[in-house]
Amino acid sequence: MADAAVKEKVATPPEAGQELTDGFHLIIDALKLNGLTTIYGVPGIPITDFGRMAQASGIRVLSFRHEQNAGYAAAIAGFLTKKPGICLTVSAPGFLNGLTALAHATTNCFPMILISGSSEREIVDLQQGDYEEMDQLAIAKPLCKAAFRVLHAQDIGIGLARAIRAAVSGRPGGVYLDLPAKLFGQVMDAAAGQKSLVKVIDAAPAQIPAPEAVARALEVLKGAKRPLIILGKGAAYAQADDAIRALVEKSAVPFLPMSMAKGLLPDTHPQCAGAARSTVLKDSDVVMLIGARLNWLLSHGKGKAWGDAPKKFIQVDIEPREMDSNVEIVAPVVGDIGSCVKALLDAMGAKWTPAPSDWLSAVSKKREENVAKMAPRLMNNNSPMDYHGALGVLRTIVKERPDAILVNEGANTLDLARGIIDVYQPRKRLDVGTWGVMGIGMGYAIAAAIETGKPVLAVEGDSAFGFSGMEVETICRYKLPVCVVIFNNDGIYRGTDLNAASADPATTVFVKGSRYDKMMEAFGGVGVNATNPDELRRAVNAAMDSMKPTLINAVIDPGAGSESGRIGNLNPQSKLKKK
């Protein structure tokens, strides 16, 4: 019985003169049929020819220097396009290199499919030591939303369809697709092959919230004296920008954008509470979360940051299990953000009473005070630069070029840039996300340039940049409009630590006075060493005008940063006396 079932699956051997297709071509056809026309990856056995054929067929195949960077590129492509970003790797080590990015995509709710070639099942399962032997499917499973393996050419269509649906429907995430080497060469009748492909219809169906849930949420909002809306990257992902703006404006509620939701409404919008964050968290009485989770980034919705005043939470999210994850949610609204926000707007009707204006004025006042306090620091022309002087320059440049995409990672470089650089359009700020992971920089920059065609400004700590630095060659090879600015303070957090015990350098410092700009020149890009804000301004503007691959080594005072940027409080402390 089992034997018969297996036999049935094996394609009938071709007859002479019959038109044939094979695994290589079916995978390409299945991707194209579903509008997946960009692949980020690294070639090698067993996917080298597949990459060549995909490129020859018109798919854009971007070859990276390391799979992790290709994976981060695919992850952010998913965020930007709402289609799964595709990462392609070889077996075992290539697969593992891509896996961090797949887990990152899942944690951040970005749709992505990691496609890895794998070794012979018979040998892997008997652990007989095949080339790059690894049970990849089992390893991927706990780290992604779903994992599938395709063994037969005629199942390629279904396999990809399942992968696409799993990645984009409901809460998006990472999916693993295991393609054993043998599959690529499997031959079958061309017409039957075409018929086996699946064009996924309505891959991420709208999930409409229940009218009672919407009414309950509005009831809670109506009773608020000091309401707050928090926009998360789920709201940015939804591409429901007009509806979200309408909801915020109609409600007259101050809004706080999480890092990657900045720009959904401009940071300069009169209701933006970004520069009054601690005030609104503490003093608000009703908080409406839209596509934002109450994880560590929001101090779990409780404790000192949230103050003592009693609070009610409304949460709008596609994932029902997100509700009550950290604190009680009195009004859960479950559905996709676009449908939920539209339903809320409709139910508010024409006679909605805006939030009390004294609250909004109190928030605006606080925000103006904080902005004014910061302003002089951003105008300093110190050399070497401090973070504020350098970021003041970049802040103006982004204001003048609001359609550029800002990629940002580091510790001080991240935390200070997040606060200082205003964002004016949706999905223009891409950063380390939920895990605060270092290494997204060049992968994100490459995918942002490829997917949007817009210039990219990557603001990188010198340590952060190191995780993906070799991809500057990729940027030069594909001639991408990416300007990398490295905040070079000689190390992690600071470049001033000393090791008292031996001649080895301290654990957080790098070679002093490094010239990262020379790396770019090695591959034909433009390299600039900028030692003061004026030089930095000129160099970034030239890069953005020319759209040429550019790397600017921005020399930052090694003593300017603080330990772990803004999250030093998360470091465990030894109770023993320091020796």
Ligand X SMILES: Cc1ncc(C[n+]2csc(CCOP(=O)(O)OP(=O)(O)O)c2C)c(N)n1
Q: Which is nearer to Mg ion, 452 or 514 (CB)?
A: 514
- For residue 412, the partner it binds in Mg ion, ligand X, none, with Cβ less than 5 to 8 A by kind, is ligand X
CB of 187 to ligand X, least distance (A): 43
Q: Which of 133, 462, 517, 535 is close enough to bind Mg ion by CB under 5 A?
A: 462
Nearer to ligand X, 71 or 481 (CB): 71
Three-state secondary structure along 226-253? CEEEEECHHHHHCCCHHHHHHHHHHHCC
Instruction: Name which of 439 and 525 has its Cβ closer to ligand X.
Output: 439
Q: Is 461 near Mg ion (CB under 5 A)?
A: yes
Q: Which is nearer to Mg ion, 163 or 472 (CB)?
A: 472
Q: What is the CA radius of gyration of the chain?
A: 26
| Class of residue 498 by CB neighbours under 10 A (exposed 0-12, middle 13-18, buried 19+) | exposed
With CB cut-offs between 5 and 8 Å by kind, which of Mg ion, ligand X, none does residue 437 bind? Answer: ligand X
For ligand X, the closer of residues 360 and 438 by Cβ is 438
User: Least distance in Å: CB of 464 to ligand X?
Assistant: 3
Site track for Mg ion across 225-264, x = CB under 5 A:
----------------------------------------
Report CA dihedral (92, 97, 99, 102) to the nearest 10 degrees: -140
Which of Mg ion, ligand X, none binds 172 (CB below 5-8 Å, type-dependent)? none
Indicate which of ligand X, Mg ion, none lies near residue 411 (CB less than 5 to 8 Å, by partner kind). Answer: ligand X
Of the candidates 356, 340, 357, the one whose C-alpha atom is nearest the C-alpha of residue 288 is 340
* Residue 568, number of CB atoms within 10 A of its CB: 11
Closest approach of Cβ 465 to ligand X, in Å?
7
SS3 of 256, please? strand
**CA distances (Å), origin 80, targets 31, 109, 237:** 18, 12, 7
Handedness of CA 431, 433, 436, 442 (dihedral sign): negative
Structure-token match 């550029």, residue found? 404
Closest distance of CB 558 from ligand X, Å = 9
- 565 contributes a contact to Mg ion by CB under 5 A: no
Q: Report the nearest approach of Mg ion to the CB of residue 525 (Å).
A: 21
Which of the ranges 204-212, 221-229, 432-440, 489-497 carries the binding residues for Mg ion, by CB under 5 A?
Answer: 489-497
Contact call for residues 247 and 339 (beta carbons, < 8 A): no
Nearest distance, CB of residue 562 and Mg ion, angstroms: 11
Query: b/e per residue, 531-548, with b = 16+ CB within 10 A?
Result: ebbebbbebbbebbeebb
Look at residue 464 and give the partner it binds from ligand X, Mg ion, none, a contact being a CB closer than 5 to 8 Å depending on partner kind.
Answer: ligand X
Residue 473 binding Mg ion, by CB under 5 A: no
Residue 418 CB, shortest distance to ligand X, in Å, is: 12
CA distance 238 to 68: 26
- Alpha-carbon span 224 to 226, nearest angstrom: 6
Extract the tokens encoding 343.
């339903």
- Residues with Cβ within 8 Å of residue 63, at least 6 apart in sequence: 41, 42, 43, 51, 474
Nearer to ligand X (CB atom), residue 68 or residue 284 = 68
CA distances from residue 425 to 336, 341, 402 in whole angstroms, order as listed: 21, 19, 7
Name the residue nearer to Mg ion (CB basis): 249 or 563. 563
How many residues touch Mg ion under the rule CB under 5 A: the total is 3
User: Which residue ranges make up the site for ligand X (CB under 6 A)?
Assistant: 410-413, 436-439, 461-464, 487, 489, 492-493, 561, 565
Would you state the structure tokens that stand for residue 260, as one six-digit string? Answer: 């990657």
**Residue 288's binding partner out of ligand X, Mg ion, none, with CB under 5 to 8 Å set by partner kind:** none
- Taking the CA atoms of residue 135, residue 136, residue 139 and residue 142 in that order, the dihedral angle to the nearest 10 degrees is -130
User: Pick from ligand X, Mg ion, none: which does 438 bind, CB < 5 to 8 A by kind?
Assistant: ligand X
408 is a contact residue toward Mg ion (CB under 5 A): no
Stretches 209-217, 329-337, 483-491, 523-531: which one binds Mg ion (CB under 5 A)?
Answer: 483-491
Stretch that binds Mg ion, among 75-83, 252-260, 456-464, 498-506 (CB under 5 A): 456-464
Contact call for residue 489 and Mg ion (CB under 5 A): yes
Q: 114 by DSSP, 3-state: which?
A: strand
* Choices 139-147, 189-197, 458-466, 469-477; region in contact with Mg ion by CB under 5 A: 458-466
Nearer to ligand X, 173 or 561 (CB): 561
CA-wise closest residue to 81 among 129, 120, 38, 33: 38
Query: What order do you get walking across the sheet with 550-555 strand by strand?
Result: 429-431, 405-409, 456-461, 482-488, 550-555, 526-530
Query: Measured from the CB of residue 204, what is the shortest distance to ligand X in angstroms?
Result: 29
Q: Which stretches of the chain bind Mg ion, using CB under 5 A?
A: 461-462, 489
